[in-house]
Structure 1
Amino acid sequence: MPSFDAIIIGTGQAGSPLAGRLTEAGMKVAIIERNLFGGTCVNTGCTPTKTLVASAKTAQMARRAADYGVLLDGPVKIDMKKVKARADSVSGASRDGIGTWLDGMANCTVYRGHARFLDARRVQVGDDVLSADKIFINVGGRATLPEIPGLASVPHLTNSTILDLDVVPDHLLIIGGSYIGLEFAQIYRRFGAKVTVFETGPHLIRREDEDISRAVAEILTAEGIDIVTGAANLSVSRATNGSGSIALSHDGPNGLQAVGGSHLLVATGRRPNTDDLDAEKAGIALDAHGYIIVDDALRTNVDGIWAMGDCNGKGAFTHTAYNDFEIVAANLLDNDPRRVSDRIPVYALYIDPPLGRVGLTETEAKKTGRNIVVSTRPMARVSRAIEKGETQGFMKIVADADSGEILGAALLGTGCDEVVHSLIDVMYAKRPYEQVRRGVHIHPTVSELLPTMMAEFHPA
């Protein structure tokens, strides 16, 4: 039975860099991967989808070329096979780089196969049984499928399998009006598909403020995407016309309504990959949704076992997974007591223009009972956006009027996935918004309006 100082299960955005730190510290490490090096981000998440976003953006700008005085002959055409090949190439290069790095890492042994716990110190991979005093779980997550009548009887796509398409759907039906669903909605609309999004809630991206949701909906509907909110009692079936298409039915304001489509994407959430880990044999506690329960330092209830990334329920992003690695490494190797609770929530929705989000929403801030002030600015009043011809969206910042603490922001507009970092850094530095107001930013940029916004706060 091979013995190691540490076993890492999964090569995602926490597992791979942790292998590097542990081996540099002189530990003998085994890292296990049952599928593709790099985890969700590299293979079915950020890397391929943002490559598709870039292709879709290029197609849209080509259609708008005449607005900028650039004349192109004929309609814009999409070669979906080339689009897919480009996304595959970008993902493949990243995946191969991680694999080469791990395979060549001194004191690290890579095992390919499905890992299952035998007990709190032993893991089986195929015919091999590995043991270690320290085990780190980084098994990620996958799409979850809701219980919708008829779903099992019709072909359907998830965020992973839709990446296999090398044709543009005639009509893409999407169940789920949140981050994944909306990004794919705009991507495929810009590739030329008809797209309809069905959201069971009263508005899109339900965790966001309603004004942000409305603005996102306006951006998408302006591009010809049909959005159905409050879609109740969903069911799907094969179309009766023999075309092989899919019929999606829902209760609408006028009773039962049906929409036919060529393809169906289900984007209603994700679940952790812990159901086939045999975690119970190690005594590892899971919550009701299958997430591994961890403390502020990402330790499980079993001494010597940690959980990082999507499987611990503390974040569902590449950057939170990488931060999990940093927290574990800092506590274990650097005598630096970093904690998950020190992390400020931050993420982006990569429609075009993007939404950059940090901290509390306005709704959440009001529930704290603090004296809340808000500042907003439409992108139509941002010189950089006007010059680029991209004036959709608006920016909103929420603060505590008494302490000056910036509590959160929602920045929806061109470049706002980068602009939001100016606020993130101030929030981590625990500086009042007056510090930003006095700053001098470069003109013409989107960021230059942040100091102006700090001078225009008003009661929420």
Structure 2
Amino acid sequence: MAGKFDAIVIGTGQAGPSMAGRLTDAGMTVAVVERHLIGGTCVNTGCKPTKTLVASAYAAHHARRSADYGVITGPIGIDMARVHARSQKISVDSRNGNETWLRSMKGCTLIRGHARFESAKTVRVGDELLEAERIFINVGGRALVPDMPGVGEVPFFTNSSLLDTDLLPDHLVVVGGSYIGLEFAQIYARFGSRVTVVEKGPRLIGREDAEISDAVRSILEAEGIQIRTGAECIRFARHPDGVAVGLDCSEGVPETIGSHLLLAVGRRPNTDDLGLEMAGIETDKRGYIQVNDRLETNVPGIWALGDCNGRGAFTHTAYNDFEIVAQNLLDGANRKVTDRIACYALYVDPPLGRVGMTETEARATGSRILVGRRPMRRVGRAVEKDEQLGFMKIVVDADTDAILGAAILGTSGDEAIHTVLDIMAAGGNAATLRHTMHIHPTVSELVPTIAGELRPVS
């Protein structure tokens, strides 16, 4: 069976359904191809289920310290079956909503199966050969399984497979001390598991400034999570009690025994079985599809959006990819990926909200910089909530007053950071922020304050 369409969208992650919606609204016929679960990573194995677990873990944590607030409760227990069921329901509801939306689009045909290119204009899905002048690749990514000694000889979880179970490990060893690994580590520690985080590098979340890495480590260790950094030669072996993880750390015992193992060492794009070579589409050595500032591949009429293009690994970057491509194609705009300001969050508790450059990155530019800092224990809203861990900081160019970046590690940090992001996006500077009145009592109200307390750094 053959079909000719105005456009083909491969993958239904954050960018795919929205792209189909804009195209069909413009009167085009669109084939949307999905080989697995509609909604992609965010809906099925990312934001939706993990942040649901974060919320359950947060509830458990605060229930245990309810006496601090003068609230007396009984013993706190964790019903993992209900925790898991809640997480799955939220994912399923979102997935079903996406599918209903796609099937309701006039001019949209949803096709289930694995898409493979046969040329720059044709894609095969099983027995169907689809043809279109415009093709949008939105296939996302998956957990990377590292080539470490013994990894093929032991049972392990990835973020996806761990979300499929209502298991509560006795001792969860998390290999990978970055964003995904740390979120899961704190979740399961709050559910009652003993947790060890193993990181090859010298500190956690190595892309952050050292003071943020150190603060996150202190927060997690205070909750009983054991952190092992500098694990230069990680190896695995079966053990009667689960899995033996060899560390070769600069300090501490050379091996830890976990009942279960989670590998959280990165992601890889789902591009290795798309037949990209048949269309002449270029990738880098890791498999990411090469795109220009307009998210166009080297082949005219083919775009790559979301995690598979290597230009962002977040739901919000994928959606922004859609906005850039759709507005350039349909509205005559000239939007570019390089115009957007980097921003993201780490959803440990308290969360880390980040925008723009780190202090380390700003120093590397050679510019004179000013930094404003304030610990959360001096933020009234944090004190009132008795959630005083962390700090906020802002980095400013000393000569131009331009805001280079900011970080808020603290309660509501993932929300309050948008105060800085929006000023930066609107072309404002630190003076704009200093002169803006914010609502009291909030975390955000202290952002103008630290913008007025800038100091040079040595």
Instruction: Tell me whether 1:72 sits opposite 2:73 in the alignment.
Output: yes
Instruction: Tell me whether 1:388 sits opposite 2:349 in the alignment.
Output: no
Aligned to 2:443, the other structure's residue is in SS state: coil
CA distance in 1, matches of 2:248, 2:367: 40
CA distance in 1, matches of 2:228, 2:255: 12
CA distance in 1, matches of 2:118, 2:284: 20
CA distance in 2, matches of 1:383, 1:297: 44
Q: Compute the RMSD of aligned alpha carbons.
A: 0.9
Give how far 1:255 is off: 8.4
Q: Give TM-score scaled by structure 1 length.
A: 0.98
Aligned to 1:130, the other structure's residue is in SS state: strand
The letter of the residue matching 1:309 is G
Task: Give runs of aligned pairs for residues 52-451 of structure 1, distance below 5 A.
Answer: 52-74=53-75, 76-239=76-239, 242-243=240-241, 245-253=242-250, 257-451=254-448
CA distance in 1, matches of 2:28, 2:164: 39
What do residues 356-407 of structure 1 show as CA deviations (whole Å, max 9, x unaligned)? 0000000000111111000110001001000000000000100101111100
Give how far 1:232 is off: 1.5
The letter of the residue matching 2:215 is A
**CA 355–255 in structure 1, closer or farther in 2 if over 3 Å, else same:** closer
Instruction: Tell me whether 1:9 sits opposite 2:10 in the alignment.
Output: yes
The letter of the residue matching 1:87 is S
Give how far 1:430 is off: 1.2
Give how far 1:416 is off: 0.6
Contact 2:374 2:392 in 1 (8 A): yes
Identity over aligned residues, as a percent? 61
Give how far 1:103 is off: 1.1
CA distance in 1, matches of 2:120, 2:98: 28
Give how far 1:336 is off: 1.1
CA distance in 2, matches of 1:109, 1:282: 23
Contact 2:369 2:397 in 1 (8 A): yes
Contact 2:168 2:191 in 1 (8 A): yes
Contact 1:169 1:262 in 2 (8 A): yes
Give how far 1:302 is off: 0.3
CA distance in 1, matches of 2:26, 2:340: 26
Give how far 1:252 is off: 2.7
Give how far 1:145 is off: 1.0
Aligned to 2:401, the other structure's residue is in SS state: coil
The letter of the residue matching 2:49 is P
CA distance in 2, matches of 1:253, 1:123: 52
Give how far 1:70 is off: 0.3
CA distance in 1, matches of 2:157, 2:217: 23
Q: Give TM-score scaled by structure 2 length.
A: 0.99
- Alignment-derived partner of residue 37 in structure 1: 38
CA distance in 2, matches of 1:330, 1:84: 39
CA distance in 1, matches of 2:115, 2:97: 23
Contact 2:391 2:410 in 1 (8 A): yes
CA distance in 1, matches of 2:53, 2:127: 40
Aligned to 1:396, the other structure's residue is in SS state: strand
Aligned residues between the structures: 456
Contact 2:229 2:249 in 1 (8 A): no
CA distance in 2, matches of 1:231, 1:257: 9
**CA 175–119 in structure 1, closer or farther in 2 if over 3 Å, else same:** same
The letter of the residue matching 1:233 is C
Give how far 1:165 is off: 2.1
Contact 1:116 1:277 in 2 (8 A): yes
Contact 2:231 2:250 in 1 (8 A): no
What do residues 107-135 of structure 1 show as CA deviations (whole Å, max 9, x unaligned)? 00000000000000000001100000000
Contact 1:249 1:256 in 2 (8 A): no
Q: Which runs of 4+ in 1 moved over 2 A?
A: 252-256
The letter of the residue matching 1:115 is A
What do residues 407-457 of structure 1 show as CA deviations (whole Å, max 9, x unaligned)? 001110000100000100000111111111111111111111111101110
Aligned to 1:233, the other structure's residue is in SS state: coil
What do residues 124-163 of structure 1 show as CA deviations (whole Å, max 9, x unaligned)? 0011000000000000000111111111111101010010
The letter of the residue matching 1:39 is G
Give how far 1:10 is off: 0.3
What do residues 252-293 of structure 1 show as CA deviations (whole Å, max 9, x unaligned)? 336871111111000000000000001000000001110000
**CA 285–128 in structure 1, closer or farther in 2 if over 3 Å, else same:** same
The letter of the residue matching 1:30 is A
CA distance in 2, matches of 1:234, 1:416: 33
